[in-house]
Amino acid sequence: MKQNRRTFIKSGVLSGLAASTAALHAADLQPTPTEIKGPFYPIQAQKDKDFDLTQIEGMSGLAAGKHIFIEGVVVDTDSNPIEDVTVDLWQANAAGRYRHPHDPNTAPLDPNFQGWAIVPSGVKGEFRFKTVFPGTYPAAEGWTRPPHIHFKVSKRGYVELVTQMYFPGHPLNEKDLLLQRKTAAEQPTMIATQSREDPETYQFRIVLQKA
């Protein structure tokens, strides 16, 4: 049985991320860089879009691959947390295949991987979800995409953000045609930080601009 959302968030506490956010200066934060949505934004309806992508409601199996946690916080450019933001995220499974009918990748689908989640940020702008470490996949001849997670983040009064989160230290980051289009200052803001206390937890800050 899946954990309920309250228990799940309490179990994570998000203490490290909250502490780092509190230490931010209240000025000079740039909005998180935008990125293309890509061709695999979910188009098929699914009932289960909760924070745990490793198990589908009503099924007993678990998603294949390394299970990880993503702890996030959404703030404005003055570093104020933003409550009740809609955080919409989707990704490839551990084999690099999207749960999308038009994905040409021949890697296997995972019937136990949810692939898509929509979660709200809490009163401190925080969100947390459980997923699998996404696999790499061929995007074009000579171009293999590094592991990444897509985000669409929105709330009335703010500019909607579509972006991608990358994982630290992956060698394909340095060759990715999308990430490498960003400036040297922008690239680190799109790469998650691995928790020192728990190597299976990654932390990601999202900065929204007021409309």
63-78 tens-digit pLDDT: 999 999 999 999 999 9
Residues belonging to the active site:
98, 137, 145, 148, 150
Domain limits, the chain: 5-208
Average pLDDT over residues 170-190: 98
Would you give the end-to-end CA distance of the chain in angstroms?
Answer: 40
Q: How many CB atoms lie within 10 A of CB 145?
A: 23
Burial of residue 99, with CB atoms counted within 10 A of its CB: 0-12 exposed, 13-18 middle, 19 or more buried: buried
40, HSE (Cβ side, Cα atoms, 13 Å): 23
- Report the pLDDT value the prediction gives residue 35, as an integer from 0 to 100: 97
Q: Rounded to whole angstroms, how far apart are CA atoms 108 and 64?
A: 11
Asked: is 5-208 a CATH 2.60.130.10 domain? The reply is yes
Place of tokens 């289960």: 48
Confidence of residue 28 (pLDDT cuts 50, 70, 90): confident
- Report the pLDDT value the prediction gives residue 23, as an integer from 0 to 100: 45
Q: How far is CA 41 from CA 30, 47, 147, 162, in A?
A: 26, 16, 16, 11
- Non-local (6+) Cβ contacts of 137 within 8 A are 92, 96, 97, 105, 107, 144, 145
112-160 tens-digit pLDDT: 999 999 999 999 999 999 999 999 999 999 999 999 999 999 999 999 9
| Contact predicate 99/42, CB 8 Å | yes
Task: Report the helix count and the strand count for the chain, using DSSP H and E.
Answer: 2, 10
User: Residue 197 in 3-state DSSP?
Assistant: coil
Element (H, E) at 19: helix 15-22
**Which pair of structure tokens corresponds to residue 38?**
């890509």
Element (H, E) at 56: none
